């Protein structure tokens, strides 16, 4: 039995964990955050909650479709029967899109929690700042100076800029310089009464926004009226370093326009979040990258395709390379 280290408890790291533990190996998972899920995040404020990152997922590959039906049978995901609208300026209409969309229930983090049960150890709140292959195996160093390992293999499942910082001279990690990530400003609002929108979700094609959705229309969510408002990547990039208090106003104005109201009604809670590394700037087709000895593999959506399915597939292929 080998013991692996996995840096990053997002869906890519956790799908690598699925493969390694199914093959009978041990794995220690590290994440700088308090919990798992990465960009499949949930924000909670008092009794209100929102899917703050990924909104839904669907399958293009047979492999992920099979996985989705298993998770559905286990009761950890459910279909979100929504027909998103399209908003373009003053025009609003239901889309012709018949895509099946799924969400984890009762919130996005439920899926990562289930997958994390396969870990031998989970080191939360542990920012890994370096990794090194020694004669005994891989060692990883936390920012606070603690050294973990040695491990028989290492999976690096974090965004490229963060992976590059681990070992700048490692040729495998050099792939990180080939792409960068786009930001996404996200506004979360909750209300005491339902908003008069004819849609539960909409792709916005004009102005600062790209997506709005009524989080409580998803299965298993709290009934409180809660909306997720995401700015487009272009607008977010243009306003990446704009002070937060200057971001809120244009996003609220654009949301009011999407609701066809003069102003957004008084909210109960408001939260503004900047995802600095939201989505990869370009699609890379490697799927993963490994060293010739196959003791180090790097994975994530940015090495496959910019979504949950891409991250999951990338983590699987990376772990299979190590096996």
The residues that touch ligand FAD, with contacts defined as CB under 6 A, are 7-13, 30-33, 38-40, 53-57, 127-128, 157-159, 162, 184, 186, 230, 275, 278-279, 300-301, 306-308, 311
Q: Is the Cβ of residue 68 or residue 157 nearer to ligand FAD in the bound state?
A: 157
Q: Is the Cβ of residue 257 or residue 301 nearer to ligand FAD in the bound state?
A: 301
Q: Is the Cβ of residue 167 or residue 196 nearer to ligand FAD in the bound state?
A: 167
**At its nearest, how many Å lie between ligand FAD and the CB of residue 298?**
11
Q: Is the Cβ of residue 111 or residue 261 nearer to ligand FAD in the bound state?
A: 111
243 CB contacts (<8 Å, ≥6 apart)?
Answer: none
**At its nearest, how many Å lie between ligand FAD and the CB of residue 103?**
9
**At its nearest, how many Å lie between ligand FAD and the CB of residue 294?**
20
Angle between the 308-322 and 62-74 helix axes, to the nearest 10 degrees?
Answer: 100
**At its nearest, how many Å lie between ligand FAD and the CB of residue 208?**
14
Q: Is the Cβ of residue 12 or residue 135 nearer to ligand FAD in the bound state?
A: 12
**At its nearest, how many Å lie between ligand FAD and the CB of residue 323?**
19
Q: Is the Cβ of residue 159 or residue 207 nearer to ligand FAD in the bound state?
A: 159
**At its nearest, how many Å lie between ligand FAD and the CB of residue 50?**
11
What's the 3-state SS for the chain? CCEEEEECCCHHHHHHHHHHHHCCCEEEEECCCCCCCCCCCEEEECCEEEECCCCCECCCCHHHHHHHHHHHHHCCEEECCCCCEEEECCEEEECCCCCCCEEECCCCHHHHHHHHCCCCEEECCCCEEEEEEECCEEEEEECCCCEEEEECEEEECCCHHHHHCCCCCCCCHHHHHHCCEEEEEEEEEEECCCCCCCCCEEEECCCCEEEEEEHHHCCCCCCCEEEEEEECHHHHHHCCCCCHHHHHHHHHHHHHHHHCCCCCCCCCEEEEEEEEEEEECCCCCCCCEECCCCCEEECCHHHCCCCHHHHHHHHHHHHHHHC
**At its nearest, how many Å lie between ligand FAD and the CB of residue 187?**
11
Beta-bridge mates of residue 275: 184
Q: Is the Cβ of residue 159 or residue 208 nearer to ligand FAD in the bound state?
A: 159
């Amino acid at each position: 039995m080998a013991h692996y280290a996995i840096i990053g408890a997002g869906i890519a790291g956790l799908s690598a964990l699925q493969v390694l533990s199914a093959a009978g190996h041990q794995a220690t998972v590290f994440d700088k955050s308090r919990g798992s899920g990465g960009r499949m995040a949930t924000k909670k404020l008092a009794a209100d909650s929102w899917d703050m990152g990924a909104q839904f997922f669907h399958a293009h590959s047979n492999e992920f479709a099979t996985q989705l039906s298993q998770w559905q049978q286990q009761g950890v995901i459910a279909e979100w029967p929504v027909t998103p609208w399209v908003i373009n300026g003053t025009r609003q209409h239901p889309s012709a899109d018949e895509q099946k969309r799924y969400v984890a229930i009762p919130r996005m983090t439920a899926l990562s929690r289930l997958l994390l049960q396969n870990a031998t150890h989970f080191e939360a709140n542990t920012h890994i700042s370096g990794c090194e292959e020694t004669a005994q195996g891989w060692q990883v160093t936390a920012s606070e100076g603690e050294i973990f390992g040695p491990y028989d293999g290492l999976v690096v499942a974090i965004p490229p800029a963060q992976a590059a910082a681990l070992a700048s001279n490692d040729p495998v990690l050099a792939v990180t310089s080939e792409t960068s990530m786009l930001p996404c400003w996200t506004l979360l609002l909750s209300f005491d009464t339902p908003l008069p929108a004819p849609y539960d979700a909409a792709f916005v094609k004009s102005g600062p926004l790209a997506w709005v959705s009524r989080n409580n229309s998803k299965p298993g969510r709290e009934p409180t009226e809660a909306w997720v408002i995401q700015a487009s990547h272009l607008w977010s990039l243009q306003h990446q370093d704009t002070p937060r208090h200057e971001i809120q106003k244009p996003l609220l104005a654009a949301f009011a326009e999407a609701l066809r109201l003069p102003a957004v009604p008084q909210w109960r809670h408001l939260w503004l979040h900047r995802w600095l590394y939201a989505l990869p700037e370009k699609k890379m087709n490697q799927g993963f990258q490994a060293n010739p000895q196959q003791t180090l593999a790097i994975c994530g959506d940015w090495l496959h395709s910019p979504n949950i399915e891409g991250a999951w597939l990338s983590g699987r292929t990376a772990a299979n390379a190590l096996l």
